[in-house]
Structure 1
Amino acid sequence: MPESDDALLITLDRESRTPLAVQLADALRAAAAAGQLRAGDRLPSTRTLASHLKVSRTVTAAAYDQLLAEGWIVGKHGSGTYVTTAPPGSSPVPADRSRADAPEQDVVSLELGRPWVGGLDRAAWRRAWRSAADSDPLVRHHPAGLPEYREAVAEHLLRHRGLTIRGGLATEAVLATGGTSAAVAELAVSVFRPGDTVAVEEPGYQRAVEALRAAGVQVLPAPLDRDGILVDQIPSGIRAVYCSPAHQYPLGSRLPAARRVALVERARREGWLIIEDDYDGELRYDVAPLPLLAALAPDVVVHLGTTSKILTPTLGAGWLVAPPEVAGTLLAYRERTGTGPAPAGQRVLVELARNGDLGRHLRRLRRELSERRVLVVETLRSAGIPVLGDDAGSHVVVLLPSVEKERAAVRQATRLGVRMDGLERHHTGPSRWHGVAVGYTACSRDQLISVLPPLIDLLTT
């Protein structure tokens, strides 16, 4: 609801024996019941409302105090008074699209792949957006991405992933994308052709699978063991293989060096591409990560990265480093279709990097998530629950003996107010791996601590 006084449409009966403050509180409840007030709406100040209703400010303050005591409005220092939830008996109001992604109250998310947005320095975040807005509006399309963004990404890859961009300026070798899923979708319609076959890790990232299938590309499963993709079991006759060697999604393993070499050798021998999804490669807590496949074999590797896991999906910004012929084909597609990633998020990342805020955030992120991972792993293992996954990323995996056990665990977690991912949904075909992924980034640390005991109970029953 806007702060407009007229929007309230409140009438007080001065002849009634019911105190005016009680009438006002009742009227505000009725406004919520009718859908006139919704959770998140800002109420007028007590002074403004008193002036509008032509009553003493004591009346409006008393009404607000009552509603604050009941818990359905809250005062925020320096900001105002807000509706937190509709009072009991309110009619349900259809959620508008702008609220569709808001987390429900009292639901703890242990979902896979969520970022730690609570760790963002909000002052730095606002500063970056303001600085980005100071740039002049664009007058032409930048199909490869903004040059300053591509330079910032090249510096980021060098500092945090050890990748030296070869073959010229960073603005010639790095392409902006809308994220890893968007990059796969673009590759599917520009580099690949309907009927081409791409092997994808099984279990693996199903959004990539669906992006490929939407373009008419056939997807074949590439099986894994606990160390990652089994190179000798990748199907023959493929156009490419999609994998996440730094931190396998969702099992969490790191592909050993010998397999990386074998994967590259087979790709060169059989003439296919390797799509390396480095979705959270910056999040490593034990030792330095192994070199990227893109550093080992830039001639056959398409490297993908994203800001969604280290910052937030709000930016819609990612990157791609590819062999020249692949990058050229993708750029030609963007030129023909007038498509490409939105520049707003690119500008914000440039400002975060320029001011050093990106580096500070990554240091803070690694420190916090490392501590959270230790908490989760030690708590589960002390209860006799084995944990799968490298010392990296934002989740661990607990294997279960059957898909039925997995489904039961997910259902029970939902009843407890906990969102958790099962491994079944990460398969293209029938489940080969059964268990749950326990994410530790989307919730607060207090929520994480409080939810671990009931989680242990449901995993051990």
Structure 2
Amino acid sequence: MPTALPVTLDRESEVPLAVQLADALRKSASNGHLRGGDRLPSTRALAQRLGVSRTVTSAAYEQLHAEGWIAGRRGSGTYVTTSPPKDRPAHPALPGAAPETDDLLDLSPGTPWAAGIDRAAWRRAWRAAADAPPLTRAPRAGLPEYRAAIGEHLLRHRGLAVGTDSVVATGGTTAAVVELATSVLAKGDVVAVEEPGYQRAVQVMTAAGLRVVGVPVDEQGMRPDGIPSNARAVYCSPAHHYPMGARMSAARRVELVERARADNLLVIEDDYDGELRFDVAPLPLLAALAPDVVVHLGTTSKILTPTLGTGWMVAPSAVTSAVLAYRDHTSIRPAPAGQRVLVELARHGDLGRHLRKLRRELAERRALLVGALKAANIAVLGDDAGAHLVVPLASAEMERDRLAAAQARGIRLDGLARHFAGKPYAFGVAIGYAGCSRESLRHALTVLVRLLC
């Protein structure tokens, strides 16, 4: 028997109580709350529970018995006889939602090497994080210990010297862009973005009412001379452009900073995987070159896992003040649980060890992939960095054909065309090599080479 029947009687209604009760029980049997074989309370027990006379419950049971919804068994009680129809309406699936899992080998970019995380260290970090007492209020700027750990991480792995008070915890780079678009920028402001570029950031800016203008990207990164004169901000990924994989040259970095200072531009630097360089040391950050005009954004999603849901922001004081004021007004806070786990991983040296192992692993995977492609005279774009590379193609039709052919052979790739906010002018496939096992990647090489020749 269900522990609680969803029955509410309105004593002010003109509908008799017995009819209300019968309707409620009938609805419960129709929607699955009550199922065939469930035992109902006796008329006396139900009357006491609802605070009505037994006449009301008896009349309701008699009506349902006549309709065939319930039946009495001598010496046993009253039971529901009918289960809900199998084709009853269900809540609709999310519009346009793709299956979370399928049988395809996922070689699309953006997936981290989560399988490489040391599981013993992972469990130890979660246990230690759970030892901290539950919070009554999440700090608006993030846990102090998390901000200190990120400050140390930025100094060791990105060469950026910042104090704990300069770091603001975020829910990741996209979440940070949402906050900047809402709290720092205003509706109608023009934001220059890389074209092609990270479309999730473009979408959240557009949703916030900003006017997004694409700026061409070449082998030296974004072209500062393409930034419109009325731009209020610039969004870019200078260390490792997404998705083309280029680095912004030193000359263009200087040009961008000078333009930002001259025109009062805010530069949003998305450093989504800047720790992952294999040829040289990680490139210096724009935030180190111009902390007065640059907002630096980082995330744990690419170097560890999206499970943590954590990121960080380092920005001029006026920007951080606006973001924190926005959090005060909205009560939005980054979740502390992932912050605590990151703190424990950093405290025991597990974060540093994982990054060293990650760089070695991805460098070897990239070399394996690049070697196979170049041996077949297939062009490859992108620096020796990150977790994906690009194979250029001549047309949109070729891109669509290669993506469809790969899927038919059990492999999911990504195309360049969807990374344009405007009309695409470059085509190709982006291949991620972090999310799968090395064995799976090796087995896929023959198929990839045959498809892309």
TM-score (norm 1): 0.77
* SS of equivalent to 2:110: coil
Aligned counterparts of 2:264 and 2:409: Cα–Cα separation in 1: 50
Amino acid at match of 1:308: S
- 1:318-376 CA-to-partner distances (Å, cap 9, x unmatched) read 00000000000100110111112111100000000001110110011000000000000
Aligned counterparts of 1:235 and 1:453: Cα–Cα separation in 2: 45
Aligned counterparts of 2:222 and 2:405: Cα–Cα separation in 1: 31
Residue of structure 2 in register with 1:86 after alignment = none
> Contact 1:257/1:290 (CA < 8 Å) preserved in 2?
no
Which of 327, 334, 340 aligns to 1:334? It is 327
1:238-387 aligned within 5 A = 238-387=231-380
Aligned counterparts of 1:153 and 1:372: Cα–Cα separation in 2: 28
Structure 1 position 226, deviation (Å): 1.6
* SS of equivalent to 2:128: helix
Structure 1 position 103, deviation (Å): 3.2
**Structure-2 change in CA distance of 1:226 and 1:220 (3 Å):** same
Report whether the alignment pairs 1:131 with 2:124.
no
Residue of structure 1 in register with 2:426 after alignment = 433
Amino acid at match of 1:144: A
Report whether the alignment pairs 1:111 with 2:108.
yes
- 1:6-58 CA-to-partner distances (Å, cap 9, x unmatched) read xxxxxxxxxxxxxxxxxxxxxxxxxxxxxxxxxxxxxxxxxxxxxxxxxxxxx
Residue of structure 2 in register with 1:203 after alignment = 196
> Contact 1:284/1:391 (CA < 8 Å) preserved in 2?
yes
Residue of structure 2 in register with 1:23 after alignment = none
- 1:127-184 CA-to-partner distances (Å, cap 9, x unmatched) read 111111110111223110000000000000000000011xxx41x2000000000000
- 1:231-273 CA-to-partner distances (Å, cap 9, x unmatched) read 1111211110000000000000111111100000001001111
Residue of structure 1 in register with 2:186 after alignment = 193
Aligned counterparts of 2:275 and 2:93: Cα–Cα separation in 1: 36
* SS of equivalent to 1:314: helix
> Contact 1:223/1:234 (CA < 8 Å) preserved in 2?
no
Which of 404, 408, 422 aligns to 1:411? It is 404
RMSD: 1.8
> Contact 2:276/2:282 (CA < 8 Å) preserved in 1?
no
Which of 152, 159, 171 aligns to 1:178? It is 171
Aligned counterparts of 2:357 and 2:334: Cα–Cα separation in 1: 28
Report whether the alignment pairs 1:162 with 2:159.
yes
- 1:98-140 CA-to-partner distances (Å, cap 9, x unmatched) read xx875324x2111111101110111111111111111011122
Residue of structure 1 in register with 2:142 after alignment = 145
Residue of structure 2 in register with 1:30 after alignment = none
Number of residue pairs aligned between Structure 1 and Structure 2 = 362
TM-score (norm 2): 0.78
Amino acid at match of 1:136: P
Amino acid at match of 2:121: A
* SS of equivalent to 2:397: helix
Structure 1 position 456, deviation (Å): 1.1
Could you tell me which runs of 5 or more consecutive residues in structure 1 were left unpaired when the two chains were aligned: 1-93
Aligned counterparts of 1:101 and 1:217: Cα–Cα separation in 2: 31
**Structure-2 change in CA distance of 1:222 and 1:96 (3 Å):** closer
> Contact 2:138/2:335 (CA < 8 Å) preserved in 1?
no
Residue of structure 2 in register with 1:77 after alignment = none
Could you tell me which runs of 5 or more consecutive residues in structure 2 were left unpaired when the two chains were aligned: 1-90
**Structure-2 change in CA distance of 1:101 and 1:319 (3 Å):** farther
* SS of equivalent to 2:267: strand
* SS of equivalent to 1:239: strand
Amino acid at match of 2:231: I
Report whether the alignment pairs 1:120 with 2:117.
yes
